[in-house]
Amino acid sequence: MQNSFASYVDRAHADSDSSLDAHPPLAVRIAMQVGQVSIHDFDTSVLAKVKTCLFDLIGCSYEAAEKPWSRQAMQMAAPASLGHTHSSNVANIIGMSQASSLADAAFVNSVMGHGLVREDMHSASISHLGVAVLPTLLALSQHQRVSGEDFMAAVVVGYEVGAQIGRALMDPHMARLFRPTGITGPIGAAAAGARLLGLDVQQSASAIGLATNTVAGFNQWGHTGGSEMYFHVGYASRNAVSSVLLAQAGAFGSPTALDGEAGLFAAHGKRDAASSVALFKNSPEILSVYHKPVPACNFAQTASQAAIAIARMQACVIERIVAITIRVPSAGANYPGCNFSGPYLHALQAKMSIQFNVAAALLMKDVTEANFDLLEDANLHRLLSITGLEVDPAMTLAYPTHQGGAVAVQLADGTRLEKRLDDVVNATADDVLARFRSAGLQRVGLTAMARTEALMQGLLQSDDAGQLAASLSG
């Protein structure tokens, strides 16, 4: 798998002011390591997490298939007929009868997976890695026959690379301006795709370099409720697929695209931080991913859970509430769109708003998609008018290791109802599987859903991981 590094240096020397043979560029170091990753390097907790992440993506995609942004993405995908071999360059779209090109299928599947705002979350990189990595791999598994072992190893690689790049690069200031997933997604997904297809070191580094040139996404949508948020992940997957296939075809991407003098880290004034990127130095990053219990922004999760607990207290009578106080880490209060009390012109503004999610949770005693039909509800607006958001110093210090949230409700008679959570309560693997089954039953029916589940459970033993992707059509 290893190409002669000397020839690689000859082609890349102009891209760096350092000695490449003594200090390989970051993309090369990543390529050298991920090519050797085997799923057998990891214990059963990692295998189980890979499956849970896949169930989560597919279940969310089933549920979001009829959302406006999903339908808009579908309109952009050129219809195609599936061939009989893995070289057809055509892939399935989750829950749809239509197939499309590899890149377009990855685009649509990413948008649908992100469509509920309930995708998996890696807090330290502020990124939703699964909605970029997994659609990329599903598409590429229909391009070239690959084993289930290689597919699962590639999943772990994608989460690891995206998370480590995000840990080194992202911070609250960056996240106010740039969409973290728009940066980490293409790079992690390209590394995953390179591992899946068995690209050599030079090809893999080129795929990473090419994908680095596609990173994109600003966070202005958080202030307006703009739909670009949903499409950021689609761009990430589509660009990752294209980058991997270009590299496989011989395209040369700068090996210093990440850490060079004009590379990604330098562009953000953090060139020195690139040296901190080291894969698998601790537990695999995929184990740090959590699955959202409610379909709302990451930073609204814990406070929403606290509000649900209060709403279900017998003493909590909505009409008697006179004040609501929410406490969150500073990262949550300062992320675009999270500290917003309205007016809400688009559902996405409500999904991002911590205040909206807490008030709606108190009103509905839960957080479901139905909550986001309350944009004009008078009772909700009364609660919003008496809601305040505060930064909690202890939660700020604990973040991102722990993501706390607290809600205090004062009633007209002076009673104070409080709930403080030191960390978000994740949706469990059983919760995610149940959501997948429920959504699959509604979208594709029992037979198709059961076939997909069986293929997922047997993925490690499969000699053709593309069968999983092929099973997902509606």
Mean of per-residue pLDDT scores for the chain: 94
Token readout for 218 is 């600003």
User: Position 13: which residue type?
Assistant: H
pLDDT band at 36, cuts 50/70/90?
A: very high
User: Judging by beta carbons within 10 Å of its beta carbon (0-12, 13-18, 19+), is residue 250 exposed, middle or buried?
Assistant: exposed
Say what the pLDDT of residue 58 is. 98
pLDDT band at 391, cuts 50/70/90?
A: very high
- Residue 353 φ/ψ region, left for φ over 0, alpha for ψ in the -120 to 50 degree band, beta for the rest: beta
Can you tell me the distance from the alpha carbon of 28 to that of 33, in angstroms, rounded to the nearest whole number? Answer: 9
Residue 175 clears pLDDT 90, i.e. is over it = yes
Would you give the distance in Å from CA 416 to the centre of its chain?
A: 37
Say what the pLDDT of residue 84 is. 61
Residue length of the chain: 474
**Dihedral sign of CA atoms 264, 25, 151, 431 in order:** negative
CATH number of 5-293+446-470: 1.10.4100.10
Residue 7 clears pLDDT 90, i.e. is over it = no
pTM of the model: 0.93
Would you give the distance in Å from CA 444 to the centre of its chain?
A: 24
Range list for CATH 1.10.4100.10 in the chain: 5-293+446-470
For 298-421, the fitting CATH number among 1.20.1630.10, 3.30.1330.120, 3.40.50.620, 3.30.420.40 is: 3.30.1330.120
Residue 324 β-bridge partners: 387, 409
For the chain, count helices (H), then strands (E): 22, 6
pLDDT digits (tens, 9 = 90+) for 394-453: 999 999 999 999 999 999 999 999 999 999 999 999 999 999 999 999 999 999 999 999
Ranking 53-62, 74-83, 101-110 by mean pLDDT, the lowest is: 74-83
CA distances (Å), origin 7, targets 204, 249, 378: 15, 18, 68
Range list for CATH 3.30.1330.120 in the chain: 298-421
pLDDT band at 82, cuts 50/70/90?
A: confident
Residue 368 clears pLDDT 70, i.e. is over it = yes
User: Position 360: which residue type?
Assistant: A
